[in-house]
Structure 1
C-alpha cells in the first residue's frame, strides 16, 4: 500500500473533494452490484454532479491546472479526463454502461490528480498562487444531504 501523500494545505480541500468523488464511485459500484434501480443511482449522480463535481472541475481548470503552464502533459491529461467525464454525464441514455464507465473513469482521474498532478503543482506553484487556491475552496460536501441511501 502506498504511503500517504503529503499535500500542501492549499490543495487539501480539493483532495477532500477527491475523497468524496471516490465515495461517489464506490456508491455507483455498490448500487450496480446490488442491482438497485438505475434511476435511483442516476438521480444521486446528477445531484452530486450539480452540487459538487461540476464546480470542482471548473475550479481546477481555472485556478489549478494553469499553474503548470501551457502544454503541460499532466494538465492536458486532467483536462481530457474532465471532458470525458462531462461527456458521460451528458449521455446518460444507456444508464448502466454509462454509470459503470463514469465510476471507472472518475476513479482513475482522481487517483491521477492525487498521485501525479497535485504533486507537480506543489513543486511549481508560488506561495501566492497556493494561497489563492486555499482561499477559494471552502465548501464542505454534506453526505447527509441525499436521503435515498441506495448503497447501504
Structure 2
C-alpha cells in the first residue's frame, strides 16, 4: 500500500536522536543557521555589507573556526580522513574559510556564505553526523564527551543589523 504524501512528509522531518556526545556540536549548528538568517535578513533590508561583514567575521573567528577545528580533530576521524563524507565536509570548511576571508565583492561573498553555510550545516546534521553516530563506538563517543567543551553563545550586540 502506498504511503500518503503526508506520511511521507512526516517521515522525512522526523527528529534525529543525537547521542549526547554529539549534541553540543548540533546546538552550535543552530547558531550557524542563525548567522545565515541574519545575513539574509540584513541583505534583504539593504543594510550596509560592511556592517554585515563585520558581524560575520566576528562570528567566524569566535565560533566557526573553533567549531570546524573541533569537528576535524575529534569527530571526523571516527570515519577517517579518506571517507567521502568527511572529505566533502572538510572541502566545505575550506570553501567557507575562503568566503569569510574574501574582501572584494562583499555582497556576493555574503550571499555565498549565507547559502553555503546553511547547506553545509544541513549536510552535517542530516548525513555526516548520522553516519558518524552509526559507526562510532562508545569509547569514541566518550572521548568526544570528555574533550569537547560546548561553547556558550554570547551574542555580539554592537550592531544588531538584522532587527
Report the equivalent of 2:153.
141
Instruction: Give the TM-score of the pair, scaled to structure 2.
Output: 0.89
Task: Look up the match of 1:43.
Answer: 54
Could you say which residue in structure 1 is the equivalent of 2:22?
Answer: 11
Matched residues in 2 for 1:38 and 1:25: separation? 14
26, 31, 53: which one pairs with 2:37? Answer: 26
SS in structure 2 at match of 1:81: helix
Indicate the RMSD between aligned Cα atoms, in angstroms: 1.1
Q: TM-score, normalised by structure 1?
A: 0.95
* 3-state SS of paired residue (2:151): coil
Q: Deviations over 1:101-131 (max 9, x none)?
A: 0110000000000000000111111112112
For residues 103 and 15 of structure 2, the distance between their equivalents in structure 1, rounded to whole angstroms, comes to 35
Aligned pair count reads 151
Determine whether 1:64 maps to 2:45: no
Runs of 4 or more consecutive aligned structure 1 residues displaced over 6 Å after TM superposition:
none
- 1:109 matched to 2:120? The reply is yes
Q: Which has the larger radius of gyration?
A: 2
Q: Which runs of 5+ in 1 are unaligned?
A: none
